Structure 1
Amino acid sequence: MTNHTIITIGRQFGSGGHEIGNRLSERLNIPLYDNNLISMAAHELSISQEAAEKVDETILGKFLSAYVVNMRDYTVFINDSNESVPLSDKVYEVQSSIINRLADRGPCIFVGRCADYILGDYSNCIHSFIYAYKEDRIRRIMKIYGLDSRQAWDKIKKMDRDRKTYYEAHTGREWGSIEAHGMLFNASLLGVEGVTDALEAIYRKWEDSAR
C-alpha cells in the first residue's frame, strides 16, 4: 500500500487519453508509464521489444498454442508446473509486477495495461476512462495518422476491439464501464484540456487529504 496518489487511464482509441496523460505528467511533474512498460517487460524477459509489442494490449498470445508459430518471434515459457506459457501471458505477468513496483516507488500515471485492475488493492488510485464521440475520434485519428475517414474508423474499431478483448480476458470486467474504472470522462464534451483540469484537481485534492 502507498500514501501517494496514482492515476490510471483507460481510453478509447482516438479519444485523446494518451495526450491527457502526457499533460497531467507535465503539470504534476510525475512520470507517465505507457509504451515504456513494454520495453521494461521485454528487458526482464530477455526478448525483443518487437516480440513484446506484438501481444501488447491484444489477446493474440492466448491462441498461439493452437498454431505453428515462428519461435524466434514467440518465445514459449515454462512455469513451475512445467507447463508452457504463451508470450502474452508472460508479458502481462511481468508488466503487472513492474506496475506494482513503480506504484510503490511514488506517484505516477499509467495508461492502459489493465493498471486499474492490477492496482486494485491500492487505496489511493484515481481510476479513469476517457471516451469521445465517434466523429471526434475519427477526426483525431485522421489528423494523427494521415488517413481518410473510412481508414480512420476501421483503425479505431480494430484498436478498440483489441483493447476490449485484452482487458476483459485479463480482468473479467467490462472495458469502459463505470464499475471497472470508477470515473468516466467524455472528452468530446469537456475537451482534452477540461478532462486534464478535472483529473489534476482530483489528484491535488487527494494528495492534500493524504498529508
Structure 2
Amino acid sequence: MTTHKIITIGRQFGSGGHEIGNLLATRLDIPLYDNNLVRMAAEKMDIREETAKAIDETSLNSFVSSYLITPMGYSSYINSEEYVQPLSEQMYELQTEIIKKLAERGPCVIVGRCADYILKDNPNCINVFICADRADRIKRIAERYDVSEKKALDRIKRMDRERKYYYETHTGQEWGSISSHDILLNASLLGIEGTVNVLEGIYKR
C-alpha cells in the first residue's frame, strides 16, 4: 500500500470546490485531476471529448446514455438485440481505473467522479465535501456564466440533482453526507482561502 496522501473533493455546484482544489494542489505542488480525467477517458475510449463531457458526473442524460459504443460505431440501446454496456457506464468504469492508477502513482487532489468511494480502501485518502450557502452559490454562478440569479438557481438545482444521482447510483451512499465523507466544510463560513488553509493543514499534519 502506498503511503503518500490523496485528497478527494466532492462539492455542491457553485460552492467553489474546483477553485479550492486548484489552489490546494498549487500550494502542495501536487497534481490536480478534474476535467482532465474526462479528456483521459475520452482518449482511451476513442470518442470526442465533447461527448465524454456530456455524460461526465451525470446519469440523467438518457439521450446520450442510451447510445453505446460498438465495433460498428454508435447504436441505440433500445434497438440493440445484444447487450452492450451503455456509454455512461463505460465512462465510469474507465475513470475508475484511471483514478486508481493515478492514486498509486503519487499524491494528488481529485475533484468529483466518486473518487472518495473509488479509493475508499486507501487509508491515506482524505475525503472532503465542500458546501456553501445558497446565496453565495447563486452569486458565484450568476457572475461566472453572466446569467440572472433565477437562471443561476435553476442551474444549481439541476447540477446538484445530477451530481447527487450520479454519486448515489454508483456508490449506494448519500451524496454530501458525513457518513460518506471524512470532512464537510462550508466555504461560505471559511472563505475559499480559509478552506484551502484548513485542508493544507490537514494534509501536512
TM-score strictly above 0.5? yes
Cα offset, 1:143, TM superposition:
1.1
Aligned residue for 1:203? Answer: 203
Aligned residue-pair number: 200
How many Å separate the matches in 1 of 2:199 and 2:39?
A: 27
TM-score by length of 2: 0.91
Distance 1:69 1:169 in 2: 19
State the one-letter code of the partner of 1:34: D
Select between 44-53 and 114-123 the one with higher mean Cα deviation: 44-53
Q: How far 1:51 sits from its partner (Å)?
A: 1.3
Structure 1 distance, partners of 2:139, 2:45, is 38
Cα distance in 2 for partners of 1:185, 1:119 equals 20
Say what the alpha-carbon RMSD is for the aligned residues. Answer: 2.4
The aligned counterpart of 1:98 is 98
Partner of 2:58: 58
Q: Which amino acid in the other structure matches residue 121 of structure 2? A: D
Letter in 2 for 1:191: G
Q: What one-letter code is carried by the residue in structure 2 that aligns with 1:200?
A: E
State whether structure 2 residue 34 is matched by structure 1 residue 11: no
Identity of aligned residues (%): 56
Q: Which has the higher helix share?
A: 1
Name 1:208's counterpart in structure 2. none
Q: Secondary structure at the match of 2:20?
A: helix
TM-score normalised over the length of structure 1: 0.88
Where 2:91 maps in the other structure, the secondary structure is helix
Could you say which residue in structure 1 is the equivalent of 2:190?
190
Structure 1 letter corresponding to 2:202: I
Q: Give the whole-Å Cα distance in 2 for the aligned partners of 1:179 and 1:192.
A: 24
The offset of 1:60, in angstroms, is: 3.5
Q: Superposition pairs for residues 2-151 of structure 1, below 5 Å? A: 2-60=2-60, 63=62, 83-151=83-151
> Quick one: which amino acid aligns to residue 119 of structure 1?
L
Task: Give secondary structure in 2 for the equivalent of 1:181.
Answer: coil
Q: Aligned partners of 1:198, 1:70: CA distance in 2, in Å?
A: 43
Task: Please tell me whether the aligned partners of residues 67 and 75 of structure 2 are also in contact (alpha carbons under 8 angstroms).
Answer: no
Contact 2:55–2:64 (Cα < 8 Å) also in 1: no
Q: Is the 8 A contact 2:68 2:87 kept in 1?
A: no
AA matched with 2:203: Y
SS of 2:14's equivalent? coil
Give the match for residue 156 of structure 2: 156
Structure 2 distance, partners of 1:95, 1:110, is 12
1:177 aligned counterpart, secondary structure: coil
Counterpart secondary structure, 2:15? coil
**Separation in 2, partners of 1:73, 1:148:** 40
Structure 2: how far apart are the matches of 1:121 and 1:181?
Answer: 13
Report how far residue 47 of structure 1 moved. Answer: 1.1
Residue 52 of structure 1 and its aligned partner are, at CA, apart by 1.0
Q: Aligned equivalents of 1:109 and 1:58: distance in 2? A: 21
Distance 1:186 1:147 in 2: 24
Gaps of 5+ in 1: 206-211
The aligned amino acid for 2:52 is: A
CA distance in 2, matches of 1:178, 1:73: 42
